[in-house]
Structure 1
Amino acid sequence: MHGAWKEKFADVSKAFLEYCTTLLGTSQSNRSVVLSHIVQSGPLINDHHRAILNALYTAAEVKKALFSIPRVKASGIDGFGAYFFKDTWGIVGEEVIPAILDVLQEGKLLKELNHTMITLIPKIKCPNNDLVKHYGRKDVKASCLMKIDLQKAYDTVDWNFLKEMLEQLGFLKAFVHIGFFKSQRGLRQGDPMSPLLFVIYDLILCCKGEYPSVYLMLQAFKLFSNTSGLHANKKKSSIYCYDMSDADMRTVELVSGFTRSTLPFKYLGVPIF
């Protein structure tokens, strides 16, 4: 902790708690507020969307959702997959539906039911990816691509930022406050709302291959960082310059603090060519 090696159980436990308390227990100081005119210039939740979101769940929807699950998928800790509930629906349906509706409408899940199973999915060695297939072609103008790795994105995103974003987008209060627990920063992995608020830890930003454009992009990212609490890990972030002058490339590298690199690279673990 702070460069000091800990070996005793009590010391290791204390260091762990201090670190997590600092990481999750404090909000970002001097945080910029979300600029409403920027958010509201894009797609927003309208009255029709709100009506759909605010509608009560029905027994028919619960049954439809369960019966849409493949028979051998998503088995629980007890090993019962969707096939069990489908085949015995005439018996268990009248108990399953009220239980599910209670969770959906009250927003509370019994800890006895809140178990998680993790399955590792093998990655494809050579996936097809068209993200940057035109980057670097002779007929393409000078360009700059920045691959930004966000520091501890899941742990450091500011909750006030998420709350303001959801409010500015027009979500109902019931949805704004779902999934929050006692801490000031970070997303609780495994929480029902976490996948919806999940922050991708890699960003790819593209702009013209000239310093003024790159500078404006970096300023926009700085504003995003000051608002969200998400900052670049400069040691893991890279810039990719094509047909830019040596002077511009050196300036971009100096100002950004990122390392200049070349294709291919990995984005979210997937090779980008």
Structure 2
Amino acid sequence: MRAVGEDVTLDINAKFLKRLQRVITQIQDDHANVKNESEEITDVFVNFYKDLLGHGEGPISRAVRSILQHGQILTEEHQIKLLQPYTSIEVKKVMFIIDINKNPGPDSYGSEFFKAAWEIISSDITEAILEFFSNGQLLQQVNATMIALIPKVETPLNASQYRPISCFNMVYKCTTKIICNRLKEIIPNIVAENQTAFMQGRTMMQNMLICHDILRHYNRKTLPSCMMKIDLRKAYDMGHLSSVRRVLEALNHFSSATGLIANLDKSSIFVAGVDLATRNLLKEYTWFSLGEFPTRYLGLPLSYKK
């Protein structure tokens, strides 16, 4: 038998050891130099995210109007619905449906506190949120967040192998959820049937079935084939350089219009039925690594074999 004090001590020690396991003790910078000091590790992560988010981009290309007009667009009714004024009723409704188990933001106040103190703080919180919808300006303090770094792999070596999870404060969470609720009424009318993102009830399995069907004849030697597995877009094409060039041009236009770019670490090019010279030319032109089957798509194994 152990005394109560011993149990408390063991519990404290267990929590301390668990916290130590979560500490990042070393990291590699962009030049593969290992950093061990706390300040150096911090600088590596700060610089990594500054390169991604912390500087202005060049001029953004406009979307091609003729292409947009042939797709799903907002009707006048949709536009009027989106432009309707936000109300205090929406603010309270959203605030009270946010789960109390959600992580609090930098101020340490979570959903449970806001619900318990709503009669006292409701007027200030509601006014702050509605003011944002009125003038489009957000206080820097409201926009502040804490970022938790979750390892993507068992032994992460560099900053890109950590997944950032933001812990926003409640005012920010409530504001974004109000916007999402408004958009949910419109999105089903403009998202294509073959898209699964943003649509409740649609599953990724539909995409997997389509991809397996595409790969059914992929490895035939008499049929030159090329497939590009890109983090933003998947493309299947005949194995010609001109076809690959058109895909890359489309990706570049998409990138210049949205600010999103293909992640080379997660992108591959798969070729079949072509000679070695063509294979190397495609690889050199795209800068993607050569992929091999079986691979993983949407987290599931993918192969041209049954």
TM score, norm. by length of structure 2: 0.50
Aligned match of 1:261: 291
- Whole-angstrom CA distance in 2 between matches of 1:79 and 1:231: 35
Mapped to 1, the partners of 2:99 and 2:87 lie a distance apart of: 21
Question: For 1:48, which of 77, 81, 84 is the aligned residue?
Answer: 77
Q: What is the one-letter code of the residue matched to 1:218?
A: L
Q: Residue 104 of structure 2 aligns to a residue in which SS? A: coil
Q: Which of these two proteins has the greater Rg computed from alpha carbons?
A: 2
Q: How much does 1:69 deviate? A: 0.2
Could you say if the C-alpha distance between residues 246 and 139 of structure 1 is closer, same or farther in structure 2, counting changes exceeding 3 Å? closer
1:65-102 alpha-carbon deviations (Å, 9 max, x no partner): 11110122142333221112222323322332222212
Matched, 1:209 2:238: yes
Structure 2 counterpart SS, 1:118: strand
Give distance in 2, aligned partners of 1:87 and 1:205: 48
Structure 1: how far apart are the matches of 2:99 and 2:263? 40
- Give the length in aligned residue pairs: 197
Residue 245 of structure 1, CA deviation: 2.6
Shift in CA distance, 69/25, structure 1 to aligned 2, threshold 3 Å: closer
Asked if 2 retains the 8 angstrom alpha-carbon contact of 1:207 and 1:217, the reply is no
Identify the residue that residue 147 of structure 1 maps to in structure 2: 229
The separation in 2 between residues aligned to 1:51 and 1:61, in whole angstroms, is 17
The 2-side partners of 1:114 and 1:234 are apart by 30
The 3-state SS of whatever aligns with 1:90 is helix
Q: Greater helix percent: which structure?
A: 2
Q: Which residue of 2 aligns with 1:172?
A: none
Which residue number in structure 1 is paired with residue 114 of structure 2? 85
Matched, 1:98 2:147: no
Work out whether residues 238 and 261 of structure 1, in 8 Å CA contact, stay in contact via their aligned partners in 2. yes
1:39 to 68, 82, 104: 68
Alignment of 1:114-153 (within 5 A): 114-120=143-149, 131=208, 132-134=211-213, 136-137=215-216, 143-148=225-230
Deviation at 1:271, TM superposition (A): 6.8
Unpaired segments of 5 or more residues in structure 1? 4-11, 149-201
Is residue 58 of structure 2 the alignment partner of residue 27 of structure 1? yes
1:111 match:
140
Closer/same/farther in 2, CA of residues 236 and 91 from structure 1, 3 Å limit: closer
How big is the alpha-carbon RMSD for the aligned residues of Structure 1 and Structure 2?
A: 4.1
CA spacing shift, 1:261–1:253, aligned 2, 3 Å: same
* In 1: Cα distance, 2:257 partner to 2:95 partner: 39
* 1:145 match: secondary structure: strand
Q: CA 1:108–1:267 in 2, change beyond 3 Å: closer, same or farther?
A: farther
Alpha carbons of structure 1 residues 45 and 133: separation in structure 2 relative to 1, 3 Å: same
Counterpart in 1 of 2:91?
A: 62
Tell which has more relative contact order, 1 or 2 (C-alpha 8 A, sep 6+): 1
Q: Name whichever of 255-264 and 104-113 sits farther off.
A: 255-264
1:114 and 1:230 mapped to 2: Cα distance? 22
Q: Which residue of 2 aligns with 1:7?
A: none
Question: TM-score, with normalisation over the residues of structure 1?
Answer: 0.55
Q: Give the structure 1 partner of residue 4 of structure 2.
A: none
Match of 1:218 in 2: 248
